[in-house]
Amino acid sequence: MSNPTEMTTPPLVVKVGERLGLSWRPPIYSQVHSVWTRLRQGRRNRPRWVINLAVAVSLKEGNTALRKLTCLLCVAVIATAMQVWTHDLPAADTTTTKPNVLLILADDLGFSDLGCYGSEIATPNLDALAQSGIRFTQFYNCSRCCPSRASLLTGLYPHQAGVGSMSSDEGRPGYRGSLQPRCVTIAQVLKSAGYQTAMAGKWHVGDRQPPTDRGFDDFYGFVRGYAVDSWEPRMMVRLPENRPRRSYKSGQFFATDAITDHAMDFLANARNTKAPWFLYVAYQAPHFPLQSKAEDMQGYPAVYARGWDAIRQQRLARQKKLGLTAADTTLTPRGRIPNLDVSQRLGSRTADGGNPPWNSLPADRRADLAQRMAVYAGEVTGMDRNIGRLIAELRSHGEMQNTLIVFLSDNGACAEWEPFGFDLQPVAHPTPGTGINGGTPGAPNILHRGDALAGMGGPGSLMSYGSGWANACNTPWRLYKHYVHEGGISTPLIVHWPSGTARKGEFDRRAGHVIDLMATFVEAANATYPQTAGGNAILPMEGRSLLPALRGELAPPRTMFWEHEGNRAVRAGNWKLVALHGGPWELYDIETDRTELKNLARQHEDVVARLSDQWNAWAERCWVDRRP
């Protein structure tokens, strides 16, 4: 055997052996080199199994000096793995073994809206995170703003947390409109583990219960409402109220930038404490009203003049090339119009009730719709630009290596309510902390022509993009936000943690759910999830940690459930049982038909009965009242 010290063993280990005057023996070297290799691959629970190895080898070897050497070698490897000695490993960039946690939530972002998920939209910073992290292909949210945020923050199904619908209190346990005393947030749990906690952006899980009442040390954003006018600074609030906040000169404020500004300020505050931190950045983008800085949307109008039919085809082709979707994935038919009454009023209703072919529209309508989508794309690019600012901030302080970054969306793309989209009026007298919260089905549609096209997305322009573009943003899945078919609940999920995984640029195809984030952060932070809090019994977590995925471990089978506005679903393994409000159960084999085009309910009535029973049992347990 050649001299093993010529290979990848750290020089420190070699020096220990030389100092003791002991020669390398193949059995000992092979054990130590195996340990070193596994450490470099990012395996967790390192100290435990390395110590066990040391004990086992020591007992096996009869020579006392050799036993000492083995133990010393293993101790050296442990110390190196913990970055006490830094040769041949990335330099330690944190004073604690607990990771920092950065949770980034987009608002109404479709499954295919990032470059790394098949989009033509420029998202270089998120694409880079994906390339050096993991992309999940089957991760789910709860189909709407409030329910998804409640589940994400608490690790419970939304009804258990009290937010089965939106923010109105309906007087029933699952539909109180705010987080209930029977749950705790990630911030509350990590705060008890020594973390500094902060949030910037959209709250939307309790109008009278701000983030600072739920474990966050600092907050900047809006507590009430589903959206803001991104050009209007008066909708934002800083909590606690006596804390410093940034001011902006006239014309300089834009909500995505301001949310990031304050998030970076919160990081600076946390660093002064020398404690690990948890930062939750919940962008308002790209939720309507669609608004964008001119530089972020540059070039997009020409892109979207191709129309939604071409964009859908191009996105699916990219997804197949990336390996995100199977090569035999079929593009779903154009999506249905969600509200036929609104489409009738606005003149967009079609004979078959579906989104119209792009080329069937008149030229002035196509120009208006292309500009609406261009503004949406600019808002996504602007969000990515700001995420790049956060990443640069982490790099400049040596924090990227041990920061667990998670990015996802709260629901599928928003089709409210028909193909042409609507236009809102600016809020005349904004209240700090309160965003836009009015109904939109009665809103008008403005057909912008000529010079008016250039003003779309700027100050005073508050609009949506309609169901045709939402269909494209959810490529290749069916339906949209509100629904629990794949287009309503499928989200891109990017996880990046160099210190926690050796997987880079890979897809992970296990099914996951936003309820999993609490369990993930609890495990990563070595925190304790409580049984009681404030004198109240706390419901146990429903989710599973994602850290086994980061370790490359196989996922055991699981069952997950959904209900929103009477739309309902259960997924068990590859089977998915799903129904529209008031409609019959549909059954799909997600392994072969994730586009939900081949309803197998009649062929597998036994599966329908079994999964329906499971859904009913879950609904009973979790205070779900809206049933067929």
What is the tens place of the pLDDT at every residue in 439-476? 999 999 999 999 999 999 999 999 999 999 999 999 99
Q: What is the mean pLDDT of residues 165-181?
A: 96
Q: Tell me what pLDDT residue 628 has.
A: 53
Q: Tell me what pLDDT residue 55 has.
A: 38
Asked if residue 609 has pLDDT above 80, the reply is yes
* Ramachandran class of 566: left when φ > 0, alpha when ψ lies in -120 to 50, beta otherwise: left
* 101-549 homologous superfamily: Alkaline Phosphatase, subunit A (3.40.720.10)
Q: Tell me what pLDDT residue 10 has.
A: 41
CA dist 140 and 237 (Å) reads 30
Asked if 590 and 575 count as a contact pair (C-beta separation under 8 A), the reply is yes
What is the tens place of the pLDDT at every residue in 67-101? 544 544 544 444 444 333 223 323 333 335 899 99
Q: Tell me what pLDDT residue 627 has.
A: 56
Q: Which residue has the tokens 């586009």?
A: 595
Q: Tell me what pLDDT residue 375 has.
A: 98
159 catalytic residue (yes or no): no
Q: What is the mean pLDDT of residues 533-557?
A: 97
What is the tens place of the pLDDT at every residue in 183-242? 999 999 999 999 999 999 999 999 999 999 999 999 999 999 999 999 999 999 999 999
CA dist 566 and 581 (Å) reads 4
Strand ranges (E), 247-392 = 277-282
Q: Tell me what pLDDT residue 291 has.
A: 98
Provide the token pair at 463.
């609009």
CATH number listed for the domain at residues 559-621: 3.30.1120.10
CA dist 170 and 149 (Å) reads 18
Q: What angle do CA 391, 395, 398 make, to 5 degrees?
A: 140
CA dist 144 and 559 (Å) reads 20
CA dist 326 and 132 (Å) reads 22
Residue 175 is given by DSSP the state B
Q: Tell me what pLDDT residue 69 has.
A: 46
CA dist 374 and 308 (Å) reads 12
Q: Which residue has the tokens 């369990």?
A: 519
Asked if residue 180 has pLDDT above 70, the reply is yes
Provide the token pair at 526.
């070595």
Q: In what order do the strands lie in the sheet with 575-579?
A: 559-564, 567-572, 575-579, 586-589
Q: Tell me what pLDDT residue 78 has.
A: 45
pTM: 0.85
Asked if 90 and 498 count as a contact pair (C-beta separation under 8 A), the reply is yes
Q: How confident is the model at residue 54 (pLDDT cuts 50, 70, 90)?
A: very low
- Is omega for the bond preceding 444 within 30 degrees of 0, making it cis? no
CA dist 389 and 396 (Å) reads 10
Provide the token pair at 403.
């920061």
In the three-class reduction of DSSP (H, G, I as helix; E, B as strand; rest coil), residue 26 is classed as: helix
Average pLDDT, the chain: 88
Question: Please, what is the end-to-end C-alpha distance for the chain in angstroms?
Answer: 72
Q: Of the ranges 22-36, 156-170, 249-263, which one carries the lowest mean pLDDT score? A: 22-36
Helix axes 308-322, 466-473, angle to 10 degrees: 10
**Residue of 74, 146, 204, 262 marked catalytic:** 204
What is the tens place of the pLDDT at every residue in 321-338? 999 999 999 999 999 999
CA dist 345 and 442 (Å) reads 9
CA dist 14 and 28 (Å) reads 12
Provide the token pair at 248.
């902006």
Q: Tell me what pLDDT residue 97 has.
A: 83
Q: How many helices (H) and strands (E) does the chain have?
A: 18, 17
Helix ranges, 102-225 (H): 124-131, 145-154, 158-161, 186-192
Per the DSSP assignment, residues forming a β-bridge with 571 are: 560, 576
**Residue of 145, 146, 183, 473 marked catalytic:** 145
Asked if residue 4 has pLDDT above 60, the reply is no
262 catalytic residue (yes or no): no
Asked if residue 252 has pLDDT above 50, the reply is yes
Residue by residue, DSSP assigns 68-104 as: HHHHHHHHHHHHHHTTSS-TTSPPP--SSSSPEEEEE
Q: Which residue has the tokens 């699981």?
A: 558
Longest alpha-carbon distance in the chain: 90
Q: Tell me what pLDDT residue 11 has.
A: 39
Q: What is the mean pLDDT of residues 383-405?
A: 98
Q: How far, rounded to the nearest angstrom, does the alpha carbon of residue 4 sit from its chain's CA centroid?
A: 45
